[in-house]
């Protein structure tokens, strides 16, 4: 990573940092000697996560309780990204899905999903990149999903939101690379995060071999970051799936999406 050459402590800000992939990032970066800024809605869980990380890794941790689906929550984190000491790595992991078809979903819930999965990623990436470009170093990892590749899931706003995150990250990553700054989309498949359970989604029909471990997702994502990739798809099985999705005829993809009606695409957050 770019920050490894800096004489000052490396500092990472992670959203959705108390569960799943966000928590795995926190553990891995703390073990690697990073100082952390942890962001989540649940203040009690933030305290518990920070206490455990400090006990295990003796790292410096700031905690920020913020709901990133709100303007006020985003504004608090934006201010920290522009403040000192500087943040060298932003991990946009917070996200949500809905267990209701679009036509039956309250519009308020749909709007909250877009504010969290899309607008918060846009705002925090923008807030982080300004200082990073000035310093000529820094990294943003936006956690997306293989759900954003190719298959329009029937009635799902989630897959559309993740398609945006991947496209946005790849596009912005190209624009800031000349300034020594990295942006990468991390696109896992089904991952054991507790995410689906919290959303009330029954995943019992998904074969065990398709599931990934959060720690493995983080490890492979960081390896791809070091290789300079703009998009990281952890695990060979999902790499093959994405390659197929990118080249399959749209009519075939729509047929596959109809066959999976009632399921939710892989959740990454």
Query: Are 38 and 46 in contact, with CB atoms under 8 Å apart?
Result: yes
> 195 an active-site residue?
no
Residue 7: phi, psi to the nearest 5?
-75, -20
- The C-alpha atoms of residue 230 and residue 264 are separated, in whole angstroms, by 25
Q: Distance between CA atoms of 169 and 233, rounded to whole angstroms?
A: 14
Q: Which residue has the tokens 């790849």?
A: 170
CA 35 to chain centre: 19
DSSP state of 212: B
Catalytic: which of 158, 190, 195, 238? 158
Q: Cβ neighbours of residue 261 under 8 Å, at least 6 residues apart?
A: 154
Beta strands in 41-88 (DSSP E): 61-65
User: Are residues 78 and 70 in contact, defined by beta-carbon separation less than 8 angstroms?
Assistant: no
Active site members: 158
């Amino acid at each position: 990573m770019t920050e490894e050459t800096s004489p000052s402590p490396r500092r990472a800000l992670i959203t959705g940092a108390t569960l799943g992939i966000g928590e795995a990032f926190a553990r891995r970066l703390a073990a690697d000697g990073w100082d952390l800024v942890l962001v989540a809605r649940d203040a009690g869980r933030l305290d518990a996560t920070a206490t455990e990380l400090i006990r295990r890794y003796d790292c410096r941790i700031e905690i920020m309780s913020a709901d990133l689906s709100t303007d006020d929550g985003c504004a608090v984190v934006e201010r920290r990204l522009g403040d000192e000491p500087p943040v060298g790595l932003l991990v946009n992991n917070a996200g949500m899905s809905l267990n209701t078809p679009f036509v039956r979903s309250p519009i308020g819930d749909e709007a909250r999903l877009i504010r969290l999965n899309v607008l918060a990623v846009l705002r925090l990436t923008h807030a982080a990149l300004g200082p990073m470009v000035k310093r000529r170093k820094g990294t943003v990892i936006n956690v997306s999903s293989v759900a954003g590749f190719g298959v329009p899931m029937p009635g799902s706003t989630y897959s559309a939101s993740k398609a945006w995150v991947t496209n946005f990250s790849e596009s912005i990553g190209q624009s800031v690379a000349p300034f020594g700054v990295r942006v990468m989309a991390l696109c896992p498949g089904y991952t054991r995060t507790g995410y689906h359970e919290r959303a009330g989604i029954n995943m019992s029909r998904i074969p065990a071999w398709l599931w990934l471990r959060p720690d493995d997702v983080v490890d492979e994502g960081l390896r791809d970051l070091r290789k300079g990739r703009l998009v990281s798809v952890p695990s060979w099985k999902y790499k093959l799936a994405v390659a197929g999705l990118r080249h399959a005829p749209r009519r075939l993809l729509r047929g596959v999406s109809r066959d999976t009606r009632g399921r939710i695409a892989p959740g990454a957050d």
